[in-house]
Structure 1
Amino acid sequence: MNEENNFFYLTLALIGLLIGGAFVQVVGEGAMEHLLQGFTILTFIVCMASLRFDKNWSRFLYSLLGTWIAVIVIKAILNIKEMDVVMLVLTFAFFFGTFKSIARQILFTGYVNTNKVIGSVALFLLLGLMWAIAYLILLEFSPNSFTGMEAISWGQNFSNAAYFSFVTLTTLGYGDISPVSPLAQVIVYLEAIVGVFYMAIVVSSLVSSNIEHQENKNG
């Protein structure tokens, strides 16, 4: 794994997390949360290996990982339900930090290769995952924010939240899950706006970076 193929592994890890979240729903309720944590930890490890070239991000991730493990241990020992919200916030921070690191490496920077194109796919997946975590956090505080999505444990709801997030991000809008509360509606239409502009921003950045690289190479 090097700087020429690191985004390939990262994208596979994110896809694996989404698929794993779907499979989690078919196992027993007792093992559900632990299985999802396992998929998340695996994604952490792949991200650490894939983005180790960004030193600032690496330091942030090591701190985040240590805190996340501590929260898991505290919840397992003391069975404090509020730790679920803390874990969701840490997961959101992980996705956001990863998004920021990838964006610095691929947007408006140098020659565009296959690895950068795959990195733009990883950015899109991270956008959907960040909003999915935001919906899960909202459900922790306001269980009736959505129709079609029950107020159950976040482990059980992860796949539903991810499904709704990507349906919104791509502006498909099937309607089987809908926001009800005003705050939920604001978060949903903000995601739809980001989804509309994402492609234009990423494509323009990749094209302009490639043109600038060619000009510098020829001139």
Structure 2
Amino acid sequence: IRQTPMFTILGLIFVAGAIFFSSLIVLGLRYTWIMIVAHLFEASAYFSAAYGLLRYMFHDRYLTKDELFAAGAVFTLLAWGFAFLYSICQLWVPYSFSDPDLKAYQPWLDLLFLSFSVQSATGLSDVMPVSPVARMLAIIQMFVGVMYLALIVSRLIALQYISHLPKQTHIQHKHRKPEE
């Protein structure tokens, strides 16, 4: 993640903002706007880390164990980031999610479960997005989840293919001119 100084600085700003505003909440300042800003910084920190790991995975030319671990880590970071967006959504629009208890605000664990259910396309959650904003977030996460899996599977297969190319063929591809 630290390969690019700009993204490191940006990520640290997101983390610092998340720590600062979360500390305000812990100290008893439970204003809605503070909670929204805290969750926005937290979601940004997770998405920033996911982007950094994606850049790292696409920078490598050979498949190693760290690409496999990074693939799982990015999936998890995306799901946590969207869970924070769901939390912002319900703070902004109460009753954005329905469940059997019909609560205005869903517990964090339920939002995290919803996020992983939507992203993995398992559909196991009993919490459903009902407000237009919540449904749009769910649609975006569904798209991101499906595209992420397609992108990563194709990338990992390509890296595995490159590692099994015969040495001579690999060298020829490496030194080939663009017009060939």
Task: Specify which of 42, 48, 51 is matched with residue 97 of structure 1.
Answer: 48
Task: Output the CA distance in 1 between the equivalents of 2:164 and 2:125.
Answer: 46
> 1:196 is matched with which residue?
146
Q: 1:68 to 1:180 in 2, by over 3 A?
A: closer
**CA RMSD, 1 decimal:** 2.6
Task: Output the CA distance in 1 between the equivalents of 2:79 and 2:52.
Answer: 16
- Higher fraction of helix: 1
Moved more, 195-204 or 129-138: 195-204
Q: Gaps (5+ residues) in structure 1?
A: 1-50
Task: Specify which of 142, 147, 157 is matched with residue 107 of structure 2.
Answer: 157
Task: Output the CA distance in 2 between the equivalents of 1:67 and 1:89.
Answer: 9
Contact persistence 2:7–2:48 (CA under 8 A): yes
Contact persistence 2:15–2:42 (CA under 8 A): no
Task: Output the CA distance in 2 between the equivalents of 1:147 and 1:65.
Answer: 31
> 1:84 is matched with which residue?
35
Q: Gaps (5+ residues) in structure 2?
A: 172-180
Q: 1:161 to 1:113 in 2, by over 3 A?
A: same
Alignment identity in percent?
22
Contact persistence 1:108–1:208 (CA under 8 A): no
Aligned partner letter, 1:79: L
Tell me the SS of whatever aligns to 1:107: helix
Task: State how many pairs are aligned.
Answer: 166
CA shift digits 1:119-154 (9 cap, x unpaired):
0001111121121111110000111111017334xx
Bigger RCO of structures 1 and 2 (CA < 8 A, at least 6 apart): 1
TM-score of the pair, normalised by structure 2: 0.78
TM-score of the pair, normalised by structure 1: 0.66
Q: How does 1:36-51 map to 2 (within 5 A)?
A: 51=1
